[in-house]
Structure 1
Amino acid sequence: MAAAIHAAIERTGVLVAEAGTGTGKTFAYLVPALLAGGKVIVSTGTKTLQDQLYDRDLPAVREALACGTTAALLKGRANYVCLYRMKRAASEGRLASREEVSQLHRIERFAAMTTTGDRADLADVPEDAPVWAHATSTRDNCLGQECPDYRDCFVMRARRNALAADLVVVNHHLFFADVVLRDEGIAELLPACNTLVFDEAHQLPETARMFFGESVSTTQLTELARDARLELRAAGGASPELDRVATRLDKAARDLRLALGEPGARLAWTQALRLPDFPGALEKLQASLKELERPLAEQAERSEGLASCARRAGGAVAVLARMGESEGQAEVRWVEVYGHAAQLHVTPLSSAELFRRQMMDHPRAWIFTSATLAVGEDFKHFTRELGVPEAETRRWASPFDFAHQALLYVPKGLPLDPNDPAFTQAVIEAALPVLEASGGRAFLLFTTLRALRRAHELLRSRIGFPLLVQGTGSRSELLSRFRTLGNAVLLGSQSFWEGVDVRGEALSVVVIDKLPFAPPDDPVLAARIESIRAQGGNPFTELQLPQAVLQLKQGAGRLIRDETDRGILMLCDPRLVARPYGRRILRSLPPMKLTRRLADVEGFFRDYQSGSQIRHQGALLRRPSGLR
């Protein structure tokens, strides 16, 4: 794999490389990238992998190669303490609780000592604490060179370090935010870059679609209303009109969210417009936003803060105007509903042409790698989605011995229709004897939050193992508890399907309730399905099935993370064996033996336990004298 990447770098080519768990793909791209010289950008799918690569993998490779390559870590601006906003929050005394005041004091002490300002280095304040909104900046509210703290700005310091470094580690969100919005400092890096490596590249098409589109959220608008009032006071002025219309915008944004009903919905624009209160709420929101835009434009010369608010208002007005235009064939308008906010989107149906244009503008080596890029041996879905049909494609299987380390169990007797109301209960009934045989030590992964909640209801009084549930703590907290407990059962949904690494005996079972087909009524998917049909294609084989296969490979990949791991992958969807496409899905999974018999599962764990005892006794016999 390293040789193939080296060759792609030498010819400034495009390589799509799938590498199974355990192949060492991180080292396989770092070694040739560092040896080739020139500027290298490595982009990861998550900040967790970004930190791991920079803090652990990169130092190991640099030491092994004895090379003097310099490296820098660059994250989005929201990851760095903003000195200006932190000081302003402290002086205004407007925080919501004593806890927030205490947390802000901790951030102030951290800011005085840190050289990076990276909030990930401050464990004392939770990552999702509301106080961070007062101590970090966004593209909307950053004052840029007009900021009184510009010279000491942590964001600018990180960008300067990135410009000077030979290798820069970023993440996909940061990369696209900069490519599209020119906001995060990568645009300055790209012209000098010889090699771009995308790890966890399976996430790229969806991330690209998100950033090549436009959106505005009610949170952005309530923050705009708040910042407009604060900036006016900071400029030493008073404007009863501006204060009044800012209050009106704040209320209109909150009313729009209430008009959309329960959280968790993803609505096509036409669906939202049919809700009884939504059209009126939208009209009031647009009117109040335009009302605020006028006094902000008049006050903009008083300070950079007010000028920034005026630009933000103008941008939001433009996005809302686009939402009202007739929908083009290449895009979809839709609404996402959260607990206390809503986001209005205009999303392109494909990012292929837009991404391809970026690649043509910047000729260099482009390396795309992940454990999940191919459906079986076929890369067409990924290369079509990203607009790189001519790319060289290579695949390296995992070195793990799946035939002996793992067993694939598809239980009998479950409803053939996974939408059957009794399906989740049937999954739990089938999983209980497996959990008993394994002694807990399991992930139960669900395709919907509704199924997860139902599973929690069914399990909480029926198992004697610690039960951890997504949503009762951060992902890192739940994983830490899972590893420490050693016999826990964790119920998770989307966020636990990928990017989770639990090695050893703490995880011996992964249960997946259904094949992860995206709901066909999802507004973006529905529009893409219709577009493929209109072009004479088959949306199931071209889009829905490949997406489900890649997602399933991610979930299944949680089980065997090391050459000594052993475990059961339990797939509860009967369509795997009852539908013709099931064979295509099975061929995409690691080469595990398939069984439909519970007795084989119980036998697997009996053999595993006896093998563990033998290994343990052998370790005792080999223990050096003097140790107890």
Structure 2
Amino acid sequence: MSDASDPIPAVSPAVRALSPEGAIAEAVEGFRPRAPQQQMALAVEDALVTAPGALLVEAATGVGKTFAYLVPILQSRRRALISTGTKTLQDQLFERDLPVVCEALGYHPRAALLKGRANYLCHYRLELAAAEAGGARGGSVQRERLPVIEALQRFARTSGTGDLGQAGILAEDSPLWPQVTSTVDNCLAGECPSYNDCFVVQARKRAQEADVVVVNHHLLLADMALKEEGFGELLPEVDAVIVDEAHQLPDIAGSFFGVAVGTRALKELARDTRREQEQHAPEMLDIRQRIAELEACAGDLLDASQAWEGRSSWDEINPEGALDPLLDRLDACLGFAHDALAAAAPRAPGLEQLRARSAQLLERLREWREDSPDTVAWAERFSQSLILHRTPLDAARPLAQRRAARPAAWVFTSATLAVGDDFGHAARRLGLPADVASERLDSPFDFPRQACLVHPHPPLPNPNDPRYTRACIAWARPLLRDNPGGGFFLFTSHRALREAAAILRAELPPGRELLVQGEQPRGDLLARFRESGSAWLLGAHSFWEGVDIRGEALSVVIIDRLPFASPSDPVLQARAAALEAEGRSPFMEFTLPQAVLALKQGAGRLIRDANDAGILALCDPRLTGKPYGRRFLASLPAFHRTREPAAALRFLAQARERDACV
């Protein structure tokens, strides 16, 4: 691992471009040259020269990692694939960062943005939805959808991409969304009457021809897992793969390299089959009977799981095989539905596609039921659906195999990859060798002057104490009441979040807005938070990362507990048991490093640029009461530290006053 203070060779083209007199400074207003950014650019430059191989880079907030990898990639004129953690970051990279760097360097490669097929409007399924809504048998709910469907039809005629996220017509949780987009299962591929106009086909064609392709991790893994989504090659061959927000990759990989089958997929198969049967095989009533039996069986499985909540181990909820007869019946019902569809398949492409879907669902169910020592079977219960999962205990091996099958320069980067100076945990989870090249680059921000870390003295009760959440709020009351700006109160459980919301609704002073995760869509909450400038937002897991709010609106972050994963999580339980069987420590090798990295993500919401000032409040008494607490503190930036909320507020006021005088 290199030290960011090492001299940076002036001969490096990437370093020159990112220097005070370089191309980026000339073209980008407000650009601030940073030594850590140049160090990262040099490391990426070297990785491109020595490819194939891998590089791990932890680039703390403020390093500017996006420019640090874009500059050497574009200067090298290599064909590159860039994968981001979310679709939001994907859009930001493609629409903002990439064009800026291309313009600055005077190089305009062919670039393409490629998302999963569920993001693109499907002409064929849109017309089916329109026919269903406008038909004589369409109910009132269907008829109410007609204006929205007509707006989608206008969008389909005028859009160059078909990206529903850019249409502004449907919310992502709209029940209409899955009806007007395709999946691997229901795509008609080359048999589709709209194949030549297909937005997915066009997007993939652009990607195949591009020099730089921007995807997200789900799509990258779909390609790596060799899961063809119905037709065509997914991603092009490239010289370099940049994995941004790489800390998210192993967990996402677990689902892609596993198998899942759910009641929603079964109900959608039944719905689509009924529609195709009515249109193309109205006299084949056997199909309707078999589909009705399948729906009834899926409903019985849902009823049998009413007492479950969230994620549960299959062994725990199926003691002594009590649910096996129901699964046997589901297997039989799927088989009968497949046979009935096979008899009708020659009549229409849609019926043939449904036959293939039923066969695939049956294959998944049987694969899920096959026990394997390298996987864990578990179930996930939602309010209206149930998903059966089988997940690999470790995604490292398939990740390593798929990476080896695509020889290139692989760069994995994130603000949270190292525990202290140690990349071992991240390397193991990503399937990288222990001696993989690595760089850890500290933030250029002046944390001792910009930010204060405060935690309670005397310590609060044990986090398992039922009085704990109320004690957190009582200790943090000065921060909640007296900070003139806004803040995040982050929780490790929804139960604690709900309890805190009930308390704070009664205690926050008038005029201080309280925003609570789950009560509005995430995007709406963040928009209202920014707009307010003085609101408190209470959030759980999804607000610990991927949020970039600068200035006084987010000047305090309170974290209730150290973010250890739930010990009841079935996948984590199985991984812990496997490590114990090998004579290793699950806590030291997995649980603790994961919690340290999660805390770094939560703390990273606070200081987002050189002009920010803020307070990080960590309530958990284990921070100083347990030996492992030192690991958490050592992984955080060099905050100014105090034990009193009032002293932290004075620090914040002085930091703001100092900034105002600059």
Between stretches 107-116 and 250-259, larger displacement belongs to 250-259
DSSP-derived class of the 2:550 partner: coil
Q: What TM-score do the two structures reach when normalised by structure 2?
A: 0.90
Q: 1:151 is matched with which residue?
A: 196
Q: 1:394 is matched with which residue?
A: 439
> Are the equivalent residues in 1 in contact too, given 2:187–2:230 (CA < 8 A)?
no
Using a 3 Å threshold, how does the CA distance of structure 1 residues 529 and 410 change in structure 2: closer, same or farther?
Answer: same
For residues 35 and 605 of structure 1, the distance between their equivalents in structure 2, rounded to whole angstroms, comes to 42
Q: By how many angstroms is 1:551 displaced?
A: 0.8
For residues 146 and 214 of structure 1, the distance between their equivalents in structure 2, rounded to whole angstroms, comes to 27
User: Which residue among 245, 265, 270 is the counterpart of 2:310?
Assistant: 265
> Is residue 501 of structure 2 the alignment partner of residue 461 of structure 1?
no
Q: By how many angstroms is 1:285 displaced?
A: 2.6
Q: 1:66 is matched with which residue?
A: 106
For residues 469 and 263 of structure 1, the distance between their equivalents in structure 2, rounded to whole angstroms, comes to 25
> Are the equivalent residues in 2 in contact too, given 1:263–1:338 (CA < 8 A)?
no
User: Which residue among 524, 529, 536 is the counterpart of 1:477?
Assistant: 524
- Aligned-partner residue type, residue 588 of structure 1: S
User: Which residue among 400, 404, 408 is the counterpart of 1:356?
Assistant: 400
Q: By how many angstroms is 1:607 displaced?
A: 2.1
For residues 11 and 206 of structure 1, the distance between their equivalents in structure 2, rounded to whole angstroms, comes to 29
Using a 3 Å threshold, how does the CA distance of structure 1 residues 414 and 219 change in structure 2: closer, same or farther?
Answer: farther
DSSP-derived class of the 1:198 partner: strand
> Are the equivalent residues in 2 in contact too, given 1:440–1:489 (CA < 8 A)?
no
> Are the equivalent residues in 2 in contact too, given 1:54–1:169 (CA < 8 A)?
yes
Q: By how many angstroms is 1:549 displaced?
A: 0.7
Q: By how many angstroms is 1:299 displaced?
A: 1.7
Using a 3 Å threshold, how does the CA distance of structure 1 residues 337 and 189 change in structure 2: closer, same or farther?
Answer: closer
For residues 425 and 255 of structure 1, the distance between their equivalents in structure 2, rounded to whole angstroms, comes to 41
For residues 259 and 428 of structure 1, the distance between their equivalents in structure 2, rounded to whole angstroms, comes to 40
Map 1:158-237 → 2, pairs under 5 A: 158-183=203-228, 188=233, 192-237=237-282
Q: By how many angstroms is 1:189 displaced?
A: 6.2
User: Which residue among 14, 17, 20 is the counterpart of 2:60?
Assistant: 20
Q: 1:625 is matched with which residue?
A: none
- Aligned-partner residue type, residue 367 of structure 1: V
For residues 388 and 570 of structure 2, the distance between their equivalents in structure 1, rounded to whole angstroms, comes to 12
DSSP-derived class of the 1:461 partner: helix
User: Which residue among 602, 612, 619 is the counterpart of 2:649?
Assistant: 602
Q: What TM-score do the two structures reach when normalised by structure 1?
A: 0.94
For residues 561 and 36 of structure 1, the distance between their equivalents in structure 2, rounded to whole angstroms, comes to 30
Map 1:454-533 → 2, pairs under 5 A: 454-464=499-509, 465-533=512-580
Q: 2:584 is matched with which residue?
A: 537
Using a 3 Å threshold, how does the CA distance of structure 1 residues 186 and 37 change in structure 2: closer, same or farther?
Answer: farther
DSSP-derived class of the 1:16 partner: strand
DSSP-derived class of the 1:232 partner: helix
- Aligned-partner residue type, residue 132 of structure 1: W
Q: 1:337 is matched with which residue?
A: 381
Identity %: 48
Map 1:64-463 → 2, pairs under 5 A: 64-93=104-133, 94=138, 96-183=141-228, 188=233, 192-261=237-306, 264-274=309-319, 278-325=323-370, 327-389=371-433, 390-439=435-484, 441-463=486-508
For residues 417 and 159 of structure 2, the distance between their equivalents in structure 1, rounded to whole angstroms, comes to 39
Using a 3 Å threshold, how does the CA distance of structure 1 residues 365 and 452 change in structure 2: closer, same or farther?
Answer: same
> Is residue 55 of structure 2 the alignment partner of residue 11 of structure 1?
no
- Aligned-partner residue type, residue 282 of structure 1: L
Between stretches 18-27 and 127-136, larger displacement belongs to 127-136
User: Which residue among 21, 30, 36 is the counterpart of 2:76?
Assistant: 36
Q: Deviations over 1:289-334 (max 9, x none)?
A: 2221220122222222222212221222222223333x32211011
DSSP-derived class of the 1:116 partner: coil
DSSP-derived class of the 2:239 partner: strand
DSSP-derived class of the 1:343 partner: strand
Give the total of aligned pairs: 614
Using a 3 Å threshold, how does the CA distance of structure 1 residues 592 and 148 change in structure 2: closer, same or farther?
Answer: same
Q: By how many angstroms is 1:109 displaced?
A: 1.5
Q: Structure 1: 5+ residue runs without aligned partners? A: 619-628
For residues 50 and 336 of structure 1, the distance between their equivalents in structure 2, rounded to whole angstroms, comes to 28
DSSP-derived class of the 1:289 partner: helix
> Are the equivalent residues in 2 in contact too, given 1:179–1:186 (CA < 8 A)?
no
DSSP-derived class of the 1:244 partner: helix
- Aligned-partner residue type, residue 581 of structure 1: Y
Q: 2:18 is matched with which residue?
A: none
Q: By how many angstroms is 1:417 displaced?
A: 2.4
For residues 231 and 198 of structure 2, the distance between their equivalents in structure 1, rounded to whole angstroms, comes to 17
Q: 1:622 is matched with which residue?
A: none
DSSP-derived class of the 1:559 partner: coil
Q: 2:36 is matched with which residue?
A: none
Using a 3 Å threshold, how does the CA distance of structure 1 residues 495 and 100 change in structure 2: closer, same or farther?
Answer: farther
Between stretches 399-408 and 251-260, larger displacement belongs to 251-260
Q: Deviations over 1:346-391 (max 9, x none)?
A: 1110111111111221211001000000001000001011111232
Q: By how many angstroms is 1:472 displaced?
A: 1.9
For residues 83 and 343 of structure 1, the distance between their equivalents in structure 2, rounded to whole angstroms, comes to 29
Q: By how many angstroms is 1:413 displaced?
A: 4.6
For residues 320 and 639 of structure 2, the distance between their equivalents in structure 1, rounded to whole angstroms, comes to 49
Q: Deviations over 1:225-246 (max 9, x none)?
A: 1111112223244321110121
Map 1:576-615 → 2, pairs under 5 A: 576-608=623-655, 610-611=657-658, 614-615=660-661
> Are the equivalent residues in 1 in contact too, given 2:460–2:472 (CA < 8 A)?
no
> Are the equivalent residues in 1 in contact too, given 2:47–2:55 (CA < 8 A)?
yes
For residues 63 and 214 of structure 1, the distance between their equivalents in structure 2, rounded to whole angstroms, comes to 44
**Which ranges of 4 or more aligned residues in structure 1 deviate by more than 6 Å?**
none
Q: 2:21 is matched with which residue?
A: none
For residues 275 and 115 of structure 2, the distance between their equivalents in structure 1, rounded to whole angstroms, comes to 27
Q: By how many angstroms is 1:500 displaced?
A: 0.6
Q: Deviations over 1:560-580 (max 9, x none)?
A: 011111111111111010000
Q: By how many angstroms is 1:602 displaced?
A: 2.8
For residues 658 and 591 of structure 2, the distance between their equivalents in structure 1, rounded to whole angstroms, comes to 41
Using a 3 Å threshold, how does the CA distance of structure 1 residues 546 and 431 change in structure 2: closer, same or farther?
Answer: same
Using a 3 Å threshold, how does the CA distance of structure 1 residues 587 and 491 change in structure 2: closer, same or farther?
Answer: same
User: Which residue among 21, 30, 41 is the counterpart of 1:2?
Assistant: 41
Q: Deviations over 1:52-104 (max 9, x none)?
A: 00000000000000002110000000000001000111012247355433222
Q: Deviations over 1:110-154 (max 9, x none)?
A: 111111000111123222211112111111100001000000000
Q: By how many angstroms is 1:491 displaced?
A: 0.7
For residues 234 and 333 of structure 2, the distance between their equivalents in structure 1, rounded to whole angstroms, comes to 40
Q: By how many angstroms is 1:412 displaced?
A: 2.9
